[in-house]
Amino acid sequence: MKILIACEFSGIVRDAFIARGHDAISCDLLPTERPGPHYMGDIGYILENAPIFVPDKGVMFPHHKHGWDMMVAHPPCTHLSVSGAPSFKEKVADGRQQAALDFVAMLLNAPIRKIALENPVSIISTRIRKPDQIIQPYQFGHDASKKTCLWLKGLPLLVANPKDYVKPRMVCSCGKVYPYDQEFTTGCPECGPGHAKPRWANQTPGGHNKLGPSPNRAKLRSLTYQGIANAMAEQWG
């Protein structure tokens, strides 16, 4: 299949489909971080022109128009994610939020038979439509929590293998940590039940992401986990 991975600079999802024999290309305003078929530029243009990748020459555009068989899109969530709710008023006033919503709508309405759009919990759910599925990386083999919403067209829900599930640690409000399989999975002898919360390796005891402020924080948090990318390629490809 000819597959467009929109708004991806990492090459993770693109390469997962390529590894399974598909003609996949990523597109982003940033350069790709992995060598491979990548168009650095406007997604609106590439949606109208299916490129081909020629080794040693890079991305080439044929003179005749082709159709895309599938698109997996990762639009920026900066102005949409509920984690940024404190700044929503400002983003609504200056038009940034509406522009981000219009971009999402453009991707979802692209003339492609199979579409998957990925984003964290965001106002897409209330302003456009609810997601078809919400997944977590710990369902796909990663010791990490990152609630990920999927809006799907012409594609089935992703199915996680129970064997890939990564168990959390249980953190009690008193600060004590217990293995998930321990008897006191919802508390401890001192505090009683109902005081412990599941936490994965990328989380603080309070449930926040461990990544501190840095110039690369947004890029690192936006990366697709390899297990999820593999599931997309195996099940949708």
pLDDT 10s digits, 99-144: 999 999 999 999 999 999 999 999 999 999 999 999 999 999 999 9
In whole angstroms, give the CA distance from residue 219 to residue 104.
19
CATH number at residue 128: 3.40.50
Q: Are 158 and 171 in contact (CB under 8 A)?
A: no
pLDDT(94) > 70: yes
Range of 96's domain? Answer: 2-164+213-236
Distance, CA of 8 to chain centre: 10
Cα dihedral: 214, 119, 234, 65 (round 10): -100
Q: What pLDDT score does 212 carry?
A: 66
Q: Is residue 197, in this structure, part of any structural domain at all? A: no
Q: Are 71 and 4 in contact (CB under 8 A)?
A: yes
Q: Is residue 192, in this structure, part of any structural domain at all? A: no
pTM for this structure? 0.89
Q: Is residue 81, in this structure, part of any structural domain at all? A: yes
Backbone angles phi, psi at 139, to 5 degrees: -80, -15
In whole angstroms, give the CA distance from residue 153 to residue 54.
30
In this structure, the chain runs to a length of 237
Q: Is residue 9, in this structure, part of any structural domain at all? A: yes
Q: Which residue has the higher pLDDT, 203 or 13?
A: 13
Cβ-based burial of 111 (10 A; exposed 0-12, middle 13-18, buried ≥19):
exposed
- The string of pLDDT tens digits covering residues 54-71 is 666 677 776 555 689 999
Amino acid letter for position 12: I
Q: Could you tell me which of 27, 25, 7, 13 has the C-alpha nearest to residue 100? A: 7
Q: Is residue 185, in this structure, part of any structural domain at all? A: no
- The string of pLDDT tens digits covering residues 156-189 is 999 999 999 999 998 888 888 888 876 555 567 7
- The string of pLDDT tens digits covering residues 17-62 is 999 999 999 999 999 999 999 999 999 888 887 777 666 667 777 6
**Mean per-residue pLDDT, 140-156:** 96
Q: Is residue 186, in this structure, part of any structural domain at all? A: no
pLDDT(155) > 60: yes
CB neighbours of 66 closer than 8 A, spacing ≥ 6?
2, 49, 50
Q: Could you tell me which of 4, 13, 7, 1 has the C-alpha nearest to residue 233? A: 13
> For residue 87, how many other CB atoms are within 10 A of its CB?
12
Q: What pLDDT score does 172 carry?
A: 86
Q: What pLDDT score does 183 carry?
A: 57
Q: Is residue 131, in this structure, part of any structural domain at all? A: yes
Q: Is residue 77, in this structure, part of any structural domain at all? A: yes
Q: What pLDDT score does 130 carry?
A: 97
- How does residue 199 score in pLDDT terms, banded at 50, 70 and 90? very high
Q: How many domains does the chain have?
A: 1
In whole angstroms, give the CA distance from residue 88 to residue 79.
7
